[in-house]
């Protein structure tokens, strides 16, 4: 093989390409930069979903995804506010949310932030939106769900440490434990048995904490009621009908007898037909659902590779990754 002629090397181009050497090296580095490549693909999907305008002149998407073990907390507020500032005000804002729950007060603030940037607020649930995330969904004008989407009970969660590992437990569980012991005590007295053992168990209960749990549960229902009245059901007339619908939703989402555990699934069909929420159901073959699901899976895979619990807050203009040990 003959050596390349001087003219072929002029300008720093590699023979057989029309790109400078530096550009070729950049392309190779980008191919191996998985984070950047996947971010670009997610942005492409967000832009593709934006084209489903549904009659709105301006539309934007914000993703708020929590990994397993993380929860909605006060650190999310500045991150979400910053993401919203990157898109400005739009006619329709779509919040893609996935999370196990968290702080109800923060959920209320997130609803306020999102609604201040749009005239129509939608919450999209590709997989699950539980507890505080369910409350955020109730604060939308419409919830978009697919065949595997789920919301859940609005029971408040409190963190406890078991064997050095933080765990979130339903506040209702502590309330129920107290009620169960009280019932056992009265039954023991009725049966004329020695109540000493039951009294010893009752003495171990942290009553101020249990009282706090009761207040948390009341607060969750209060926020959910406000969201339904002011947003999800605001157009319902007459007032008596609206109240009946709100009460039915609160009863359905607060029923310990029905759901038993915090993670119990309420799918899109149940949310729409039983709870009468404003739910748009998407089928498995719906093109928009395919794009939403593909975005979610790619984002979830990125979170799964990060150490510890983590969150992704993302728009097409900005990405914020929050981890338990570092926030960036």
Residue with tokens 């769900």: 145
pLDDT for 323: 80
Cβ pair 77, 101 in contact under 8 A: no
Per-residue confidence (pLDDT) for residue 170, from 0 to 100? 76
Please report, in tens digits, the pLDDT of each residue of the chain (328 residues total).
Answer: 444 443 333 333 333 444 455 556 655 555 556 788 899 999 999 999 999 877 889 999 999 999 887 889 999 999 999 999 999 999 999 999 998 888 888 999 999 999 999 999 999 999 999 989 999 999 999 999 999 999 998 877 777 777 777 676 777 788 888 999 999 999 999 999 999 999 999 999 999 989 888 888 888 899 999 999 999 999 999 999 999 999 999 988 876 555 444 446 799 999 999 999 999 999 999 999 999 999 999 999 988 888 778 899 999 999 998 887 544 4
C-alpha closest to that of 70 among 314, 320, 311, 326: 311
- In the chain, the N- to C-terminal Cα span, in Å, equals 52
Give all domains of the chain, ordered by start, each with its CATH number.
33-159+207-323 (3.90.226.10)
In 3D space, the residue among 117, 109, 177, 96 whose CA is nearest the CA of residue 139 turns out to be 109
Q: What is the pLDDT of residue 327?
A: 43
Q: Can you give the pTM of this predicted structure?
A: 0.79
């Amino acid at each position: 093989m003959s050596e390349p002629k001087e003219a072929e090397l002029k300008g720093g181009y590699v023979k057989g390409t029309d790109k400078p050497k530096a550009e070729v090296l950049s392309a190779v580095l980008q191919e191996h930069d998985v984070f950047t490549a996947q971010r670009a693909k997610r942005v492409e999907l967000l832009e593709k979903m934006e084209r489903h305008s549904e009659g709105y002149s301006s539309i934007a998407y914000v993703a708020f995804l929590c990994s397993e073990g993380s929860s909605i907390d006060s650190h999310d507020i500045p991150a979400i506010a910053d993401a919203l500032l990157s898109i400005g005000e739009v006619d329709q804002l779509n919040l893609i949310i996935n999370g196990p729950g968290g702080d109800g007060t923060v959920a209320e603030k997130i609803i306020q932030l999102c609604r201040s940037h749009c005239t129509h607020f939608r919450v999209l649930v590709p997989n699950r939106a539980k507890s505080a995330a369910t409350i955020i969904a109730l604060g939308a004008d419409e919830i978009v769900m697919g065949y595997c989407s789920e919301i859940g009970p609005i029971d408040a969660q409190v963190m406890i440490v078991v064997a050095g590992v933080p765990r979130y437990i339903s506040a209702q569980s502590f309330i129920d434990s107290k009620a169960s012991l009280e019932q056992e005590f009265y039954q023991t007295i009725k049966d004329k048995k020695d109540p000493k053992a039951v009294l010893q168990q009752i003495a171990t209960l942290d009553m101020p904490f249990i009282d706090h749990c009761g207040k948390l549960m009341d607060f969750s229902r209060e926020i959910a009621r406000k969201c339904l009245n002011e947003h999800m059901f605001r157009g319902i007339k007459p007032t008596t009908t609206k109240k009946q619908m709100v009460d039915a939703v609160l009863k359905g989402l607060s029923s310990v007898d029905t759901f038993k555990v915090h993670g119990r699934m309420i799918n899109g069909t149940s949310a729409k037909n039983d709870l009468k929420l404003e739910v748009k159901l998407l089928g498995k073959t719906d093109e928009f659902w395919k794009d939403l699901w593909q975005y979610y899976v790619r984002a979830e895979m990125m979170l799964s590779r990060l150490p510890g619990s983590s969150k992704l807050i993302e728009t097409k203009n900005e990405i914020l990754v929050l981890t338990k040990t570092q926030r960036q």
